[in-house]
């Protein structure tokens, strides 16, 4: 699937104990140097576990108020089930600010 930065995608996210996975939304934050690799950050409706809230979650294709977690993962683009939306400019700017803070850039 041809994903771009700030696309909101559905893909299987493994549980932390790797016992199973569940299809969840994530935001594409970049492409890896290996063809087909994507860098993503997970989106969660468990807002107490998020680092910041998406202001325009509906426009991003998400059904419920959600936030972004500071957990960057590298995944193969073949795992993406569907592109469900795209961040608005305001949410993309907020994500950029948080990425710089998380990585101390």
Residue 2 falls within a domain, yes or no? no
Chain-centroid distance, C-alpha 7: 8
Residue with tokens 């998406």: 54
Residue 11 falls within a domain, yes or no? yes
What is the tally of structural domains in the chain? Answer: 1
CATH code for the domain in which residue 26 is found: 2.30.30.110
What is the residue range of 97's domain?
Answer: 7-102
33: alpha, beta or left? (left if phi > 0; alpha if psi -120 to 50): alpha
Residue (of 26, 7, 22, 17) closest to 73 by Cα position: 26
- Look up residue 72 and give its two tokens: 């960057």
Residue 29 falls within a domain, yes or no? yes
Residue 42 falls within a domain, yes or no? yes
Structure confidence by residue, pLDDT tens digits, 52-72: 999 999 999 999 999 999 999
Structure confidence by residue, pLDDT tens digits, 2-54: 899 999 999 998 777 888 888 999 999 999 889 999 999 999 999 999 999 99
Residue 1 falls within a domain, yes or no? no
């Amino acid at each position: 699937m041809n994903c771009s930065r700030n696309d909101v995608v559905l893909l299987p996210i493994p549980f932390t104990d790797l016992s199973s996975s569940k299809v969840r939304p994530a935001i594409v934050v970049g492409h890896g140097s290996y063809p087909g690799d994507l860098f993503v950050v997970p989106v969660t409706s468990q807002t107490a576990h998020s680092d910041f809230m998406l202001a325009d979650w509906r426009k991003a294709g998400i059904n419920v108020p959600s936030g972004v977690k500071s957990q960057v993962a590298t995944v193969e683009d073949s795992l993406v089930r569907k592109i469900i939306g795209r961040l608005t400019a305001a949410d993309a700017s907020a994500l950029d600010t948080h990425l710089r803070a998380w990585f101390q850039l």
